[in-house]
Structure formats: C-alpha cells, structure tokens
Amino acid sequence: MHVLIADDDAVTRLLLSSALTKLGHEVHEAANGPEACAAWEGGQFPLIISDWMMPDLDGLEFCRRVRGEPRTAYTYVILLTSRAGKTDFLEAMNAGADDFFTKPFENDEFAARVRVAERILGLHANLRAANTDLERRVLERSVELAEALQAKSEFLSRASHELRTPMGHVLGYAQLLAMDPLTDEQAVSVNQILTSGAHLLKVIDRILAISDARPEDLSFLETAPEVPGSDPC
C-alpha cells in the first residue's frame, strides 16, 4: 500500500517510514503541509499519516483539503500529535480524520492502527466494487428491458397493421351487403358486423397509438373504448 507521511520532524518521519516499510508498505515523505498537498494531488495514497502541527499548513487543514477533493477510492487519514484530550480528538474527527493518536508512539500500537486502516480500506474497496457491479447489472437490465419494449412495440405495430387490412375488407363487404335489400334478420346481422368491426378498428387504432407513443403521451388510455353490448356496471 502507498502511504503518505507528513511531518516537519525528520526523526519522526524516519521512525514512521521505518515502521511502515517493515509492515510491507511503500512510503512517500513530506516535510510540511504544502509538500503533503502537492504529493496528494499528484498521486494515489490510500493511507495518510500526518502530523497535526506543521509549518504553513497544519494537519487539520491538510485533512480538510483531502476530504474536500472528490475521489472514487477512499483515503484513510491518521493524525499524529503530541496534543491529547477529548477536545482535540473531536476537532480531528470533525476535520475528517479517521484516527488520532499521540506521540511518541509505540510500534505495536502503531502497527495495530495501520492494520485497522488496511481492513477499513479493504471494506471500502469491496463496497465500491459491489456498487460498480450493481450499477453494471442495472445498466445491462435496463438495456435488455429497452430492447424488449422496442421489440414488443414493433410487434404490436406490425400485428395491428396486419389486422387492420382484413378488418377493413370485412367492413367493406358488410357495407356492400347493407346496400342490397335485406330481410330484418339479415339487416340485424349486417349491422352487428358493422358495429363490431368499427369497434375492433378503434381497438386496433389504440394498439397502434400505444406502440408509437412515449410513456408520457399515454394519457388517452385513461378513457377506454366501450365494448358493444357490454354492461357498464
């Protein structure tokens, strides 16, 4: 893991660098706040260990700048200081620090804090990977749904056009029959053909309208056509 340590004390930097190297990490050192900011802006450091009191730019402000820069990967920040107390701890947390401990530090305690940071960073990475995978799956399903809806719309359009032509022929022949002398029973049957055929044409036209319309343009569906002979109750 790449670790950025920022401290104006050379001895402290040496101790931190030595301890981190023994734990298997790569270390980049900064002697003050501006150097730390420049290193942070130019690289990727999952873990930052910064002294609280540094010239030009202290650890709290450096931490605030880290938190103010949006990055995909999370950065774990530990503040190191000779100060102690509940007030200082809360101030560090409010600035965005993840951990806070006083110096001089013990190697065992320091190693434990770093291992905690590694576990938390691992959890963040796993969560980020899971979110990325979920977003990918949602996108894939959205594309599949859009393709399915498009196929359905095309099918409805083709089917409606194919139904409209023979229905027009049926109505045309019924109209021709209505022009000839008919018995009362024949007239009733022809009229029923014309009425039912006209209703079916309206249904087909609505199917065509649905297949061609966007979701926000489907207000015409609120009033459905009445079916001939149906009971309104």
Is 101 in the same domain as 13? yes
**Residue 172, domain extent:** 144-222
Q: How far is CA 22 from CA 27, 114, 204, in A?
A: 11, 12, 77
Is 26 in the same domain as 85? yes
- Considering only residues 152 and 48, tell me which one the structure prediction assigns the higher pLDDT: 48
50, β-bridge pairs: 6, 79
Looking at 52, 87, 105, which one is the last position of a domain? 105
Q: Within a domain: residue 122? A: no
How confident is the model at residue 232, as a pLDDT?
A: 41
pLDDT at residue 29 above 50?
yes
4, β-bridge pairs: 28, 48
Structure-derived torsion over alpha carbons of residues 190, 191, 193, 197, reported in degrees to the nearest 10: 140
Q: Determine what percent of the chain is predicted with pLDDT higher than 90.
A: 36
Find where tokens 């799956």 sit: 137
Is 152 in the same domain as 212? yes
> What is the average pLDDT across 109-117?
92
Nearest C-alpha neighbor of 74 from the set 115, 30, 122, 112: 122
Mean pLDDT rounded to a whole number for the chain: 83
Find which of 24-38, 81-95, 134-148 is predicted with most confidence, using mean pLDDT.
24-38
pLDDT at residue 78 above 80?
yes
Which CATH number does the domain housing residue 159 bear?
Answer: 1.10.287
Joined tokens for residue 173 = 């022949």
Looking at 83, 105, 127, which one is the last position of a domain? 105
How confident is the model at residue 120, as a pLDDT?
A: 94
pLDDT band of residue 231 (cuts 50, 70, 90) is: very low
Helix (H) or strand (E) segment spanning residue 156: helix 107-178
Find where tokens 């990967």 sit: 73
Q: Within a domain: residue 39? A: yes
Is 162 in the same domain as 97? no
pLDDT at residue 147 above 90?
no
> What is the average pLDDT across 151-165?
74
Which CATH number does the domain housing residue 90 bear?
Answer: 3.40.50.2300
**Contacts for 66 with CB less than 8 Å, ≥ 6 apart:** 40, 48, 75, 77, 96
How confident is the model at residue 233, as a pLDDT?
A: 36
What's the total number of domains in the chain? Answer: 2
> What is the average pLDDT across 76-102?
82
Please state which of the ranges 27-31, 45-49, 54-58, 161-165 shows the lowest mean pLDDT. 161-165
> What is the average pLDDT across 109-128?
92
How confident is the model at residue 155, as a pLDDT?
A: 76
Is 148 in the same domain as 209? yes
pLDDT at residue 189 above 50?
yes
Q: Within a domain: residue 152? A: yes
pLDDT band of residue 230 (cuts 50, 70, 90) is: very low
Q: Whole-model pTM? A: 0.61
Q: How far apart are CA 67 and CA 71, in angstroms?
A: 9
Is 23 in the same domain as 94? yes
pLDDT band of residue 214 (cuts 50, 70, 90) is: low
Nearest C-alpha neighbor of 2 from the set 15, 19, 21, 18: 21
Is 157 in the same domain as 73? no
